[in-house]
Amino acid sequence: MTASEIRALFAVASRPEVVSLAGGMPNLAALPLDALSVEVADLVAREGQVALQYGSAQGVPALREQICEVMRLEGVNADPNDVVVTVGSQMALDLVTRIYCDPGDVVLAEGPSYVGALGSFAAYQARVVHVAMDADGLIPEALRDALRTLGAQGITPKFLYTIPNFHNPAGVTLAVERRSEVLEICAEYGVAVIEDNPYGLLGFSGRVYPALRSMDPGVVYLGSFSKTFASGLRVGWALVPPAVRDRLVLAAESATLCPPSFNQMLVSRYLEGHDWRSQIKTFTEVYRDRRDALLSALETYLPEGCSWNVPDGGFYVWLTVPEGVDTKAMLPRAVTARVAYASGTGFYADGLGSRQLRLSYCYPTPERITEGVRRLAAVLEAELDV
């Protein structure tokens, strides 16, 4: 598809009669909007001169301290001086790629991987080599094999980009016993590790996994308030080793001068004055109900030959459809049948994924999710009948 085709498809897919299981938009209806509007008014009244002014390129110091407190939940012991606030973690992804990669360099990423990261890698002309996953996340042996194969060609990848928790789009989580193994393999081959972790606190069992960064201070950790608070504020961060930090701050400065003071101060007030931990619990309860609705609808309606994972947190189910169905070719027909999904090909740099698709359960209500899956099942049946 060309960019204009995709735009046209999304315009149709965003019509209210279409059930969109395509996007990863958080459910902000669960936020305490009244309390937040009081906070916004107070921020302008009391601290408007600072909040509406330029700020430090690295980010508001008080917020950087609070970010360290948030990461402590995942066992990360960090110095606020090593935190760089960014405009969403997407900006951190872009800057990190800019710093590490020259055109033609190789980076490793799970297959499939986050479409926004693949976009950043493509923008800097880095070549992505995918590493396979199973139900326990990235497979250490596959990582070793990829590094061996590349090594035989004289290639050392610039980094491994990994989403250890509640993966986008695969929905899986890297098993704890694999975490140190992945780090050891990367250390052995001299490959940096970029840990992208926007969903780590959104586990349905309440379990919080130890961050890779908690096991190795050399890991670059990317975090975000998009899923735990509000994506529209565009506040994310990178925790980086001191040697990388100064280059990252310079790169951030050249991109935006500084992250938005107002948004950072609002996040800081929210963390200070609101029970953000129980808000995260509220979010996960909403998402767990929606996941359950999706899984039960898949079980009820989908034709034989489909398979999917059971995510224990995050936003996504990764679905494999029967042989002969092409999820990219099917998408316009699904949209005509008033259901949208993200076809699997967007999550690979190498054209794989035509038998996969990603379903997001974060935004539609359980009833809409059920209806969406019913429509999807009918479209799949029709494809299989041809």
Strand partners, 19: 339
DSSP string spanning 89-107?
HHHHHHHHHHHH--TT-EE
Running DSSP on this structure, what letter comes out for residue 227? I
Answer for which of 58, 231, 360, 370 binds ligand PMP (CB under 6 A) is 231
Q: Judged by CB under 6 A, does residue 59 bind ligand PMP?
A: no
Which residues inside 76-105 make contact with ligand PMP, applying CB under 6 A?
A: 88-90
Q: Which two tokens stand for residue 228?
A: 């735990």
Q: Which two tokens stand for residue 205?
A: 């069992």
Closest separation between CB of residue 288 and ligand PMP, Å? 18
The smaller minimum CB distance to ligand PMP, of residues 112 and 198, is found at 198
Closest separation between CB of residue 384 and ligand PMP, Å? 31
What are the Cα distances from residue 124, in Å, to 2, 115, 286? 20, 15, 37
The smaller minimum CB distance to ligand PMP, of residues 164 and 370, is found at 164
What are the Cα distances from residue 367, in Å, to 6, 17, 202, 290, 292? 27, 13, 22, 9, 11
Q: Judged by CB under 6 A, does residue 165 bind ligand PMP?
A: no
Paired sense of beta strands 342-343 and 356-360, if any: antiparallel
Range in contact with ligand PMP (rule: CB under 6 A) among 41-49, 134-142, 223-231, 377-385? 223-231
Closest separation between CB of residue 260 and ligand PMP, Å? 13
Beta strand spans in 9-135 (E):
19-20, 83-87, 106-111, 127-134
The smaller minimum CB distance to ligand PMP, of residues 112 and 140, is found at 112
Closest separation between CB of residue 94 and ligand PMP, Å? 10
Q: Which two tokens stand for residue 97?
A: 């790629």
Paired sense of beta strands 159-162 and 106-111, if any: parallel
Q: Residues touching ligand PMP: how many (CB under 6 A)?
A: 14
The smaller minimum CB distance to ligand PMP, of residues 58 and 168, is found at 168
Q: Which two tokens stand for residue 144?
A: 């070793």
Answer for which of 137, 157, 198, 353 binds ligand PMP (CB under 6 A) is 198
What are the Cα distances from residue 332, in Å, to 3, 24, 307? 15, 19, 22
Q: From CA 302, how far away is CA 122, in angstroms rounded?
A: 35
Which distant-in-sequence residues (6+ apart) come within 8 Å of 119 by Cβ?
Answer: none
Q: From CA 158, how far away is CA 97, in angstroms rounded?
A: 9
Q: Judged by CB under 6 A, does residue 58 bind ligand PMP?
A: no
Q: Cβ–Cβ contacts within 10 Å for residue 281, how many?
A: 14
The smaller minimum CB distance to ligand PMP, of residues 22 and 330, is found at 22
Which residues inside 303-362 make contact with ligand PMP, applying CB under 6 A?
A: none
Q: From CA 315, how far away is CA 107, in angstroms rounded?
A: 25
Give the per-residue contact string, 264-303, with ligand PMP (x = CB under 6 A; - = no). ----------------------------------------
Closest separation between CB of residue 223 and ligand PMP, Å? 8
Answer for which of 100, 114, 270, 301 binds ligand PMP (CB under 6 A) is 114
Q: Judged by CB under 6 A, does residue 236 bind ligand PMP?
A: yes
Answer for which of 21, 24, 133, 342 binds ligand PMP (CB under 6 A) is 24
The smaller minimum CB distance to ligand PMP, of residues 88 and 157, is found at 88
Q: Judged by CB under 6 A, does residue 162 bind ligand PMP?
A: no
Contact footprint for ligand PMP (CB under 6 A): 24, 88-90, 114, 116, 163, 168, 196, 198, 224, 226, 231, 236
